[in-house]
Structure 1
Amino acid sequence: MFRLLFLLPVVLCLGWWWFLKTNDIPLKQGRKGFIYILIFSVFVLGFFTLMVYVTNSKL
């Protein structure tokens, strides 16, 4: 599962893009949502990386 975490921001950004397109919202107006998605994804990836480091798990 850990090696598939790179898909998290891709799937969330695609979902956000689809939401914007279906509601006729321009991408420029929805830019803040993409930034929030990327920040959230970095936080999640950092947390799991820290947990692997703390527990000395070998993937």
Structure 2
Amino acid sequence: MVRKRNPKLLTQLYLQRVQPGLLLEWRSLAPRITRNGRLKLKRVKASWKNMIN
């Protein structure tokens, strides 16, 4: 089984690796991620992968 993860922690960890230009964008997304929970988080994860590629 996959462990449940803290969305805030996930975004913070990801932001540490992200280009400074994207930082503000993700900071504005972070509150939405924590409010809406896992489904929203999965969508954001997918978009992270797209941005990396």
TM more than 0.5: no
Structure with larger Rg = 1
Q: Under a length normalisation based on structure 2, what TM-score does the superposition of the two structures give?
A: 0.41
Instruction: Give the TM-score taking structure 1 as reference length.
Output: 0.39
Name the structure with the higher helix share: 2
